[in-house]
Amino acid sequence: MEWSDLRIFLAIARAGTLGAAARSFGQSQPTMGRRLRALETAIGHTLFQRTGDGFVLTDEGSALLAHAERIEEEVLAAQRQLDGDDRQLGGTLRISSSDWFGIHLLTPVFAEFAKLQPRVVIELLTDHRLYSLPRREADIAFRITPFREAEVISRRLMHIEYGVYLKSGFKPPRAGDGAGTPLITMDMAFSDVPDAVWLQRVLPNAHIVSRSNNRDVQARMCGQGAGVAVLPRPLGDGIAGVRRIDLGEQPPGRNTYVGYHRDLKRQARLRALLDLVIERLAN
Amino acid sequence: MEWSDLRIFLAIARAGTLGAAARSFGQSQPTMGRRLRALETAIGHTLFQRTGDGFVLTDEGSALLAHAERIEEEVLAAQRQLDGDDRQLGGTLRISSSDWFGIHLLTPVFAEFAKLQPRVVIELLTDHRLYSLPRREADIAFRITPFREAEVISRRLMHIEYGVYLKSGFKPPRAGDGAGTPLITMDMAFSDVPDAVWLQRVLPNAHIVSRSNNRDVQARMCGQGAGVAVLPRPLGDGIAGVRRIDLGEQPPGRNTYVGYHRDLKRQARLRALLDLVIERLAN
DNA sequence: GGTTATCCATTCATATTTGAATGGATAAAT
DNA sequence: ATTTATCCATTCAAATATGAATGGATAACC
């Protein structure tokens, strides 16, 4: 049984004749007659009596009419819900990013977005797992490496400068040496990131006192006077009690990329959030 | 939007891949893919994310899934109801017949049918209107004239003999005369029915004292001694206190026909009732 | 690294559905 | 009685949907 034939049945029941139903439904009279016949055959019951004046519902037809009307209501409810979500940009967006990026750069933008689109729920995931966009583990991802997946649409979002930071009032280390200088750096798994490598090259005699995979942790240790740290400038410049020091050269910056799955290209809420992020952060 | 495509959507959501859905649904993979695309276009939302491992519901897809499942339940409820009506022979049957025929001949059969099929409600209409079968004013009609409508399926049901009746103990009139004999006969509109014409021919000098369109009224008057009446024998033979008299020749009998609309040919309850009526009454 | 299995998307031939045109039946108007 | 309008059913050509075959991509296994 074709569910769509129920819609034909509804139209005929309401119009009372095949011709009138055809005209209002936008399909030809013989087609509607045939599809009604197909429905009657599929369902095993005569739904109308055919007269010269039109079609009269049988008892079975009347019973089915009640069901068909409820089905129609459910279809319309579905359409209203989806239209409403679209127009009101309701729904959830799952975002993945690194921790400091999410905390310091994304939250202001998301707070602004929440005021603009109060019905969108943003779920920000900041652990180090690489969330799979194809598997819908995340809808939008911010990464420091370019996206390689074919089904991901991405762009470079911004360039982030890094800086070297030390607690205010502490004596800066000597560039090219660093003896006696405690370092705060990335954890072992990320010890090969460009800024960590750079720091050990510039202060070859310094010693590491603290490792973390969390930039905020590094920043807090630095602020407590534990040592020297390379931090993204958006983060470091905002930490109280630390200053940026000059070691004669700049640490390497990083690009940040944003990507989403191509199947969500036309999703209104994703587009709206992305537009705002780009407007506020892109450089 | 084709409602049937919702069924495709349901199958894919449940199977998780296009191929598996196609195999279980009995339609090819490309067709299901196309119909899903058509649905997504019609509804204006992406319902699945396509991955190498199969299809993953979007939020919109999940919302629609809930609606689609309710629609499916409604369709199945409709099918169960119609199947149940059919199997249990539930529903209404509207029957039209003349009054005495309904009262004396049909009621015993209908009482028996009610015991066999307690869920069928029989509505017996015995006024003189010619109920229209095409307009579903009646489902089955019993008439003394053959059915002429093209869409009506009919058959001769039985031959009914008529007899002349008089109160027991009264003196029979003289055939060919009837002077001084009161007659009980049909009303003016039906004064030309064969038995009424016959009675006046056989007793040309008799006088009419009572007319009625109701055979039971005629029989009751006869039983009260009001006069002579021609009655259908199934009726007259059952009246207490009257006897059938012989005027030298038999009054004309009548055939009774039964008809129903051809669109109801396969309706189970109609067939069942008709079979029982034929079994009990046909001659 | 090569092979196999599984996935979805696309192409092209075939099957099915659809609609314009026509015809028969009926009712209403003239 | 004839004409007109409206109804549904049927035929045949055109349009659309469908499925078999094929190809590209990915993951798992050897």
Name the residue facing A77 among B67, B136, B264 (closest C-beta).
B67
Nucleotides of D under 7 A from a protein CB: 6-11, 17-21, 25-27
A18 — phi, psi (to 5°)?
A: -65, -45
B116 burial (CB, 10 Å; 0-12 / 13-18 / 19+) is exposed
| Chain position carrying tokens 């975002």 | A95
- Does residue B204 share a domain with residue B232? yes
- Does residue A81 share a domain with residue A96? no
- Does residue A262 share a domain with residue A204? no
- Does residue A184 share a domain with residue A259? no
| Cβ within 8 Å, pair B82-A75 | no
d(CA B83, CA B88): 8
- Does residue B156 share a domain with residue B175? no
- Does residue A149 share a domain with residue A224? no
- Does residue B181 share a domain with residue B76? no
Lowest mean pLDDT across A11-15, B56-60, B148-152: B148-152
In CATH, what number is assigned to the domain containing residue A73?
Answer: 1.10.10.10
**8 A C-beta contact, residue A275 and residue A157:** no
How many CB atoms lie under 10 A from the CB of residue B238?
A: 12
Neighbouring-strand partners of residue B252: none
pLDDT in tens, chain A (283 residues): 899 999 999 989 988 888 888 888 888 888 999 999 989 888 888 888 887 778 888 888 888 999 999 999 899 889 888 876 656 556 778 888 887 888 888 888 888 888 787 777 787 877 666 777 776 778 898 988 888 777 788 889 999 999 999 999 989 998 888 888 888 888 766 778 888 889 888 999 988 877 777 788 788 888 888 889 999 999 899 888 899 999 989 999 999 999 888 777 778 888 889 999 999 999 8
Name the residue facing A4 among B4, B52, B63 (closest C-beta).
B4
Q: What is the mean pLDDT of residues B145-169?
A: 87
- Does residue B18 share a domain with residue B82? yes
Provide the CA B149 to C1' D13 distance, Å, integer: 36
Reply yes or no on whether the pLDDT at B213 is more than 80.
Answer: no
- Does residue B186 share a domain with residue B57? no
Quick one: closest CA in A to B86, which residue? A45
Reply yes or no on whether the pLDDT at B85 is more than 70.
Answer: no
Mind telling me how many Å the CA of B202 is from chain A's nearest CA? 46
- Does residue B36 share a domain with residue B172? no
Name the nearest CA neighbour of A226 among A212, A238, A246, A213.
A212
Residue B214: how many CA atoms within 13 Å on its side-chain side? 7
Q: Look up the domain containing A171 and give its range.
A: 162-252
Q: What is the interface size between A and B, counted as CB pairs within 8 Å?
A: 129
- Does residue A217 share a domain with residue A267? no
A251 — phi, psi (to 5°)?
A: -70, 155
d(CA B52, CA B83): 42
- If one counts the domains in chain A, the total is 3
**8 A C-beta contact, residue B259 and residue B141:** yes
- Does residue B191 share a domain with residue B74? no
Among the three residues B69, B87, B105, which one is the final residue of a domain in this structure? B87
Report the pLDDT value the prediction gives residue B244, as an integer from 0 to 100: 93
Among the three residues A32, A62, A87, which one is the final residue of a domain in this structure? A87
In CATH, what number is assigned to the domain containing residue B95?
Answer: 3.40.190.10
Q: What is the mean pLDDT of residues B165-192?
A: 85
